[in-house]
DNA sequence: GATGAATGAGGTTTCATTCAT
DNA sequence: AATGAATGAAACCTCATTCAT
């Protein structure tokens, strides 16, 4: 990996940064942004308070770095998942599988966002700042392009704007995962991607 | 209205309470719960700090009252909207129309949740969340019962669990409205409910 | 009684004042001066806050009135007790009996003073303000005059300044009563005044 | 002294703590616990408010530390004073001398209790009181043991329970010192311990 | 470079007092 | 005269940030 080529000093710094971010994620997700102090993060991560400020300009900055990094990983994973297969339906299935996987594996991160928003059923993307919002829109574009290509192929009917379909699919997926998180017994994890896809594939009204 | 029958003193108190809640909603939605001080609310509402505490035990209490009141109104409106028509499709259309209307008319409230959804203050809503979650699930039940009745009527195909369809429809509706809020020109307001319903009604895959 | 001659309005006012003072004594003795609010006193006494301020200029004033009134009663009782008998020893016995009685019957008042001072064995008179201090000194004078008269009679030896003896007797009495209050089983109530007097009457060192 | 062996940082911290306690004692004794704010203590001691809270969890904690420390010193001094001489009478004289000395040298501390005795803040001392009361009783036990030993030696007559005599002596001593503090000209400081002891040694009634 | 003690502004909340009704 | 809602100053305490070591 590229990291190995970095000078030792640089690698050490990166490792420390990761340590800090991981601790912060842990604490933020347990207590919420405003109920975690910088001293608490520093203590838990076993650094001095001042050291935190060598890596991040301020608390907000630390928070942003944390979120952006998680989103990076997330985006990367999804992008890889929809690059491989040719088949549009398979791409969508992969997307659902990978998003679900990451969701399950990053519950602290998910909780960080959800605490507030679930009450009225807003989902993860709510409240993202401009940077994140732009990235989310770009990400939706990738999903939309699957629908687009499917429509061009005549594999999909043109029932709505592809971008709009992407939004719909993503939000339904979010909602499913949140339900599962909230009450796993009542709402089982959608193991089979088709559970979700079918909502879009099988029209509800008999023709 | 019944209010007119209340003694004048009582009416006055209610008016003040509304004033406080409205101001708080305004400020919370602009800056987020933790970035608004009680002093600020009091000043903006033109009351003394202490007066706020005559009406609400503490900041959290004020917040809860605010949220619960808004949810009450919202729930009531939706419930009325889906009671009237017999036709299931028309019920769904009404639901979409009314939810959209209330969304548009209560943007400060909507923003309150967006502003908050940065992982702020878990504990604040510790109690609130449970209450709200239950209410949300109960609300979904009402939507689900529309799908259920439609399936029993053979107006709808049984493509998924009715409750699950309710979640899907609600989340897609939320997502659409948020998109519109974010970028009204790019994502026009879904004036026609069928724009959203069609996603569920017309299967995407040609048969 | 003289009260009956007062105009009804005036009598009513006095009754209200007593009500307020009694409630205040109750609360102060339970929680301490600073932990009782004027609204609390008003509510408990079933008056409006403002009414309290018609009777007492402010909280401090209410407190002073409370203490002075209790001291008045106390002084009066003691004075009566040492007026009657001719015999100096009997006067002292009466004084001890009556002080003990009032102590027992006014535990709330006693507690009001004691809460703080017992820890280092200061007694009731500690912390009294100038007015009260003067009254306390005057009261001691009365006790001192008993010793004085006893010495003149040759009933008592002149082992110390009479005033000083008064102080000593009073402080020993206070201490005994406090011990009893603190741990009634361990330190029984000095039912027989001679228990205390003997300390002064029987020299400790064998001659 | 052991202190000199502590690392410099540690010594510095101790010095600061002492500074804070001394300032707090000063202010508390002048105005009483509830009339001194943490800000005031911090300002007077030339620290920031927050620094106070690094040393003491809260105001109550600061107060407790203050009182306990003073009591420790006091107890230690008295204990030393009554350990040395064999002679019981000399022990009592030493006790009176040392208690008087410490009283005179710690007037702020003495005043702290006088100032407080207005029934302030029961709860604050709920815990403190128990602790202090126990210590006071233990201390009395030490004085009592002097009387006890004197009685066993036949140096003292058995005119009362030794513990009870201890209480009496201590309370008379307190009263004398308070009188002197109140009106030094009128009540001269009992330089000679026998002034007080005689009250107990010479029976008042001629035999 | 790392440390963590010190800072002090700012938050929530209480309550003595006033004054319009 | 009595009321009690309204006031707002001031208390306690936290914590993001800095800087001397």
Contacts of D114 in chain C (CB under 8 A): 117, 122, 126-127
Chosen from A27, A63, A114, A126 to mutate, greatest number of chain B CBs within 10 A = A126
Res A117: pLDDT: 33
Interatomic CA distance for residues B177 and B100, integer angstroms: 7
Interatomic CA distance for residues A167 and A126, integer angstroms: 13
CA angle B190, B191, B192 (to 5 degrees): 95
Res C92: pLDDT: 92
Q: Is the pLDDT of residue B117 over 60?
A: no
Asked if D touches C (at least 3 Cβ pairs < 8 angstroms), the answer reads yes
Interatomic CA distance for residues D115 and C128, integer angstroms: 9
Whether chain B has a CB inside 8 Å of the CB on A159: the answer is: yes
User: How far is C-alpha D111 from the chain's CA centre?
Assistant: 11
Interatomic CA distance for residues C29 and C17, integer angstroms: 18
**Whole-prediction pTM:** 0.86
Question: Between the CA of A125 and the C1' of F15, what is the distance in angstroms?
Answer: 29
Average pLDDT over every residue of B162-191: 88
Average pLDDT over every residue of C77-98: 89
Res B193: pLDDT: 93
Res D116: pLDDT: 55
State the nucleotide closest to A48 in CA–C1' terms.
E3
Lowest mean pLDDT among A79-93, B46-60, C12-26, D112-126: D112-126
Confidence of residue B4 (pLDDT cuts 50, 70, 90): low
Q: Is the pLDDT of residue A11 over 90?
A: no
Mean pLDDT, chain A, whole residue set:
84
- pLDDT: which is higher, D178 or B37: B37
Interatomic CA distance for residues A93 and A192, integer angstroms: 9
Instruction: Please count the residue pairs, one from chain A and one from chain B, whose beta carbons lie less than 8 angstroms apart.
Output: 180
What angle do the packed helices C194-201 and D193-201 form, to 10 degrees?
Answer: 120
Whether chain C has a CB inside 8 Å of the CB on D206: the answer is: yes
* B121, B154, B171: residue with CB nearest A175: B171
Closest-CA distance of chain D to residue C41, Å: 16
Query: What are the structure tokens assigned to D61, written together?
Result: 């904690």
Burial (CB count <10 Å: 0-12, 13-18, 19+), residue B153: exposed
Res D193: pLDDT: 92
Res D24: pLDDT: 95
- Tell me the per-residue pLDDT of A89-120, one tens digit each, with 9 for 90 and over: 999 999 999 999 998 988 888 877 665 432 22
Instruction: For C179, name the nearest residue in chain D, comparing CA atoms only.
Output: D167
Whether chain A has a CB inside 8 Å of the CB on B151: the answer is: no
Domains of chain B (ranges, CATH numbers): 1-56 (1.10.10.60), 58-201 (1.10.357.10)
Query: Which residues does strand E reach (CB under 7 angstroms)?
Result: A 13, 16, 39, 47-51, 53-54; B 36-39, 49-50, 53, 58-60; C 34-39, 49-50, 53, 58-60; D 12-13, 16, 47-51, 53-54
CA angle C138, C139, C140 (to 5 degrees): 90
Query: What are the structure tokens assigned to C134, written together?
Result: 């003067």
List bases, strand E, within 7 Å of protein CB. Answer: 1-20
Average pLDDT over every residue of D126-149: 82
Interatomic CA distance for residues C129 and C131, integer angstroms: 6
* C29, C111, C168: residue with CB nearest D199: C168
Contacts of A32 in chain B (CB under 8 A): 119-124
- Closest of D203, D84, D72 to residue D146, by C-alpha: D84
Taking a C-beta distance cutoff of 8 angstroms, is the pair D21, D104 a contact? no
Contacts 24+ apart (CB under 8 A), B50-57: B51/B16, B52/B20, B55/B13, B55/B16, B55/B17, B55/B20, B56/B20
Query: What are the structure tokens assigned to A98, written together?
Result: 């990978």
Interatomic CA distance for residues C83 and C146, integer angstroms: 10
Contacts of D34 in chain C (CB under 8 A): 34
* C111, C182, C198: residue with CB nearest D159: C198
Question: Between the CA of B110 and the C1' of F9, what is the distance in angstroms?
Answer: 36
What does the H/E/C string look like for B190-206?
CCCHHHHHHHHHCCCCC
Interatomic CA distance for residues D28 and D115, integer angstroms: 8
Q: A51: number of CA atoms within 13 Å, CB side?
A: 15
What does the H/E/C string look like for chain A?
CHHHHCCHHHHHHHHHHHHHHHHHHHHHHHHCHHHCCHHHHHHHHCCCHHHHHHHCCCHHHHHHHHHHHHHHHHHHHHHHHHHCCCCHHHHHHHHHHHHHHHHHHCHHHHHHHHHHHHHHCCCCCCCCCHHHHHHHHHHHHHHHHHHHHHHHCCCCCCCCCHHHHHHHHHHHHHHHHHHHHHCCCCCCCCCCCHHHHHHHHCCCCCC
How many helices (H) and strands (E) in chain D? 9, 0
CA angle C125, C131, C136 (to 5 degrees): 40
- Token pair 């574009």 is found at A141
Whether chain D has a CB inside 8 Å of the CB on C132: the answer is: no
Neighbours of chain D (3+ CB pairs under 8 A): C
Res B145: pLDDT: 94
- Terminal-residue alpha carbon distance, chain C: 55
Max Cα–Cα distance, chain A, nearest Å: 67
- Tell me the per-residue pLDDT of D61-78, one tens digit each, with 9 for 90 and over: 999 899 889 888 888 998
Chosen from A172, A204, A206, A207 to mutate, greatest number of chain B CBs within 10 A = A204
In chain D, positions 77-116, which contact chain C (CB-CB < 8 Å)? 113-116
CB neighbourhood size of B85 (10 A): 13
Chosen from C25, C111, C113, C115 to mutate, greatest number of chain D CBs within 10 A = C115
The 3-state DSSP class for residue D155 equals coil
Interatomic CA distance for residues C41 and C22, integer angstroms: 10
Average pLDDT over every residue of B138-150: 92
Q: Is the pLDDT of residue D11 over 90?
A: no
Whether chain C has a CB inside 8 Å of the CB on D123: the answer is: yes
Q: C154: number of CA atoms within 13 Å, CB side?
A: 1
Interatomic CA distance for residues A89 and A99, integer angstroms: 15
Highest mean pLDDT among A149-153, B31-35, C160-164, D52-56: D52-56
The 3-state DSSP class for residue D71 equals helix
- Closest of D110, D108, D112 to residue D177, by C-alpha: D110
Question: Between the CA of C51 and the C1' of F1, what is the distance in angstroms?
Answer: 9
User: How far is C-alpha A65 from the chain's CA centre?
Assistant: 14
H or E stretch including D97?
A: helix D88-105
- Token pair 């602790």 is found at D131
Average pLDDT over every residue of D196-204: 81
CA angle A47, A52, A55 (to 5 degrees): 125
Q: Is the pLDDT of residue B121 over 90?
A: no
Query: What are the structure tokens assigned to C107, written together?
Result: 């535990």
């Amino acid at each position: 990996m590229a990291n190995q080529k970095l000078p030792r000093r640089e690698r050490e710094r990166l490792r420390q940064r990761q340590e800090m971010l991981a601790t912060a994620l842990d604490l933020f997700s347990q207590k919420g942004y405003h109920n975690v102090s910088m001293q608490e993060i520093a203590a838990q991560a076993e650094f001095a308070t001042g050291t935190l400020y060598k890596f991040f300009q301020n608390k907000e900055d630390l928070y942003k770095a944390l979120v952006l990094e998680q989103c990076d990983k997330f985006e990367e994973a999804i992008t890889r998942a929809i690059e491989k297969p040719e088949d549009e339906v398979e791409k969508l299935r992969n997307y659902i599988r990978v998003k679900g996987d990451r969701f399950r594996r990053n519950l602290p991160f998910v909780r960080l966002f959800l605490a507030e928003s679930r009450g009225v059923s807003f989902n993860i993307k709510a409240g993202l700042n401009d940077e994140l919002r732009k990235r989310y829109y770009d990400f939706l574009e990738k999903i939309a392009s699957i629908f687009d290509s499917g429509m061009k192929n005549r594999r999909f009917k043109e029932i709505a704007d592809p971008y709009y379909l992407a939004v719909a699919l993503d939000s339904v997926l979010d909602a499913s995962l949140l339900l599962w998180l909230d009450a796993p017994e009542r709402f089982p994890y959608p193991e089979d991607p088709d559970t979700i896809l079918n909502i879009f594939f099988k029209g509800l009204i008999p023709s």
